[in-house]
Structure 1
Amino acid sequence: MTSLFTRDLLNSFKSNLNHNVVSAYNISPIDSYHNCDEYWFQLLILEKDYPNSENFKAKLVYGKKKYLDQEYGTGLILPTNGVEIDADFVSKSDIEYSTVRFLLQCRKLSQLFTYTWLNPNEIEKEMKLKIELTRIILDTYNIIPDSYILSEKVPDLRLKQMLLEIEKKNPQLLDFLIKPESVSYASIPLALLLCGQAYYYEENGELTRICDPILSTYELIWEYAVRLSWDTFYATRIDISQAGLSPKPPYTKVTMGYPPKPNEFSLKEEHIKEWVTAKEHYECGGYPFYPEKDSENWKNKQLDHVVAPYPYIPLSCL
């Protein structure tokens, strides 16, 4: 089945939060992993070609969580849970939870992609490099970086053989990897950016996350294969057809809109800034996601802005 997500469709979901727009798996698969130290993970790390270079090069780093912690510091959060919903608005046990989370993910994706359009002079100092690196990843999302086992570069064939040997002994240890044979692997830089597993080095040598997780590690392995389209403002979601009795994840292909920036006549710079800097809560002003606390809309679970108030801004969704 193919779904096209338009402004009207997304707005209709906010008035009907009982709509089963996504699978309500409640993120419990990640919660069931109590100790992930022995599990393998992937990081996308962008670093300069050499100290004074302006060019960044990406590398795909593999390793057990405990060794990644030793190499890069215990600040790594693996696996990730994606966006967090205000528990006072809906809890995980509420029937509306999965749709609210889906709509917040749509909004966050739209803000992230649109942020790359903002004039660099309008971007806060602490965000400039992160947005520059985000743009690099989006522009090269389908180019697979060189692979490393921690700090050691490894050829693709050797990497595949190593993963195959681990899989034969204990396949569960690879539950948090996007494997080379997966349909998601062709866009792995984008997947790791969106689940908060893309990093860069600060000037002080500290490894820093480029983007807070919008999707969870679990979703980008088991649920969605993500792509970008450079010629549409909408997003499409297609069920992946697989023959046989044992289909392999992911089960859905999502193509998100990432078109060229419209000209000033179609979309003003201040409108871009208003949208990408909009906070989630009503008390922060701007275009909030949640209604005013304790208002009738809050009690009736009526969301405010799930899409941008201006046309010509991408409607990216899952």
Structure 2
Amino acid sequence: MKPDDTKIDYFLSLCQILVVKSDPSDEDFDNKFKAELWIGPKDKIAEKLHLDPEKFHVPSAGVMLDEDFSPGDKPIDVSTQQGARFLLQTRLLSQLVAQSWLEGSYADRVSNPKPGTLDKDKDRNRIIRKLFLTANLEPDAYSVDIPDPNDPGKKESLLQLSNFFIEINKIDPKLKEVFTRIIFPQEPGWDLIRITLLFAGQVFWTKDDGQSYERLIEPILSTYEITMLYAFTSVDWGTYVATQIEMIQPGKMQRPGHYETTMPYPPRPSSEDTTTTPDQVYSWAYADLYDKDENPFPFYPPKKPEQNDLPPDENRFVSRFVGTTYPPFPYIPVSTC
């Protein structure tokens, strides 16, 4: 039987997030750490998070380039923009790893952090680090708000749910969009669901025992990219470079994700290490994207002086060549996304 339009709209409103309720300032944080997977309609999840649905940007579009960097809609402009955005994503993932190291006593060794960085980010960074260290573990709990099937607290219900959507998609092809919003257990991207959702800005945490929530990091990848394009399948503890392999499936219907990706997360350098110091890790982790305030590692080239008479498709930067896209110090992972 074909689902009615109301139920179709309900299914197409579904989204998926990870929620961390553990207090990173707790001395027993590592043992008490819990990450819950929530699936449900966007408006209901926003309500549970005490967030304005209009400001709850899930599914996410991922990081966007500065609109002045590659304007226009010519093919060469689109190609340039896609390549530059990919490089921006790899840089931000590398910086995210560096930020995750800056917690606890290691962060205390940074000699002169800028106001508004480590003073407010050490708790956040501790959660990010814990997500990396537990990346291969499944969620600790599930909250699935879906009419069918009715068994929300188990992984098995997600398998049933996936089969349900596969079958119902045969009846109404519009429902295939569900698979661009949700990663199910039998899909390759499920293996690292914790950090996969992190990369798309779909991890939320609370500082006040669930009274309010906030996004852990801003999106780097889009929801479409983590569901359909990239399948993060493993974390490599002994390498500094990400790897990506195209998943060839001859003779079969191509299934997501199309690129199997291994994320590097090597041991954090010792705070006594003179090769890569806490100050150097900090300078990369919090390097601004723009060429300003004597920033040594800008991503964007300098902007031209303000000119009101530039045509709409004129590049506002001095060039279309990006700057620093990888860490300038050893031992900090390079992400190829």
If the length of structure 2 is used for normalisation, what is the TM-score?
A: 0.77
Q: Does structure 2 conserve the Cα–Cα contact (< 8 Å) formed by 1:63 and 1:149?
A: yes
The aligned counterpart of 1:21 is none
Note the alpha carbon deviations across 1:150-187, whole angstroms, 9 max, x for none: 59951222232234334433433523111111111111
Alignment match of 1:80 (pick from 55, 60, 66) = 60
**Paired amino acid for 1:105:** Q
User: Is residue 46 of structure 2 the alignment partner of residue 65 of structure 1?
Assistant: no
State the 1:149 CA deviation: 1.4
The aligned counterpart of 2:136 is 142
Q: Does structure 2 conserve the Cα–Cα contact (< 8 Å) formed by 1:167 and 1:173?
A: no
The aligned counterpart of 1:18 is none
Note the alpha carbon deviations across 1:174-220, whole angstroms, 9 max, x for none: 23111111111111111100000001112272111111111000000
The aligned counterpart of 1:159 is 158
The aligned counterpart of 1:168 is 167
**Paired amino acid for 1:58:** A
Q: Give the ranges of 4+ consecutive aligned residues of structure 1 lying more than 4 Å apart after TM superposition.
A: 150-153
State the 1:97 CA deviation: 0.4
The aligned counterpart of 1:243 is 250
The aligned counterpart of 1:12 is none
The aligned counterpart of 1:292 is 302
State the 1:235 CA deviation: 1.4
The aligned counterpart of 2:198 is 193
The aligned counterpart of 2:6 is none
Structure number having the greater strand percentage: 1
**Paired amino acid for 1:129:** D
Note the alpha carbon deviations across 1:231-286, whole angstroms, 9 max, x for none: 01111111112232411111101112211123412211211111111000002432
State the 1:89 CA deviation: 1.1
Q: Does structure 1 conserve the Cα–Cα contact (< 8 Å) formed by 2:228 and 2:258?
A: yes
Note the alpha carbon deviations across 1:54-93, whole angstroms, 9 max, x for none: 3321111111223212322324211111111111111373
Alignment match of 1:105 (pick from 80, 89, 103) = 89
The verdict on how the C-alpha distance between 1:209 and 1:92 changes in structure 2, with shifts beyond 3 A counting, is farther
The sequence identity of aligned pairs, in percent, is 28
User: Is residue 270 of structure 2 the alignment partner of residue 276 of structure 1?
Assistant: no
Q: Does structure 2 conserve the Cα–Cα contact (< 8 Å) formed by 1:297 and 1:303?
A: no
Number of residues of Structure 1 aligned to a counterpart in Structure 2:
283
- Looking at structure 2, the residues matched to 235 and 196 of structure 1 have their Cα atoms a distance apart, in angstroms, of 20
Q: Alignment partner of 2:302: what SS?
A: coil
- Stretch of structure 1 that moved more, 199-208 or 51-60: 51-60
User: Is residue 179 of structure 2 the alignment partner of residue 180 of structure 1?
Assistant: no
State the 1:299 CA deviation: 3.1
Q: Alignment partner of 1:111: what SS?
A: helix
Q: Alignment partner of 1:248: what SS?
A: coil
Q: Alignment partner of 2:43: what SS?
A: helix
Q: Which runs of 5+ in 2 are unaligned?
A: 1-8, 111-116, 170-174, 306-314
Q: Alignment partner of 1:60: what SS?
A: strand
Q: Does structure 1 conserve the Cα–Cα contact (< 8 Å) formed by 2:158 and 2:184?
A: no
Q: Does structure 2 conserve the Cα–Cα contact (< 8 Å) formed by 1:37 and 1:66?
A: no
Q: Does structure 2 conserve the Cα–Cα contact (< 8 Å) formed by 1:81 and 1:215?
A: yes
- Stretch of structure 1 that moved more, 296-305 or 40-49: 296-305
Q: What's the RMSD between the two structures over aligned residues?
A: 2.6
The aligned counterpart of 1:128 is 122
- Looking at structure 2, the residues matched to 177 and 236 of structure 1 have their Cα atoms a distance apart, in angstroms, of 24
- Looking at structure 2, the residues matched to 168 and 70 of structure 1 have their Cα atoms a distance apart, in angstroms, of 30
Q: Alignment partner of 2:21: what SS?
A: strand
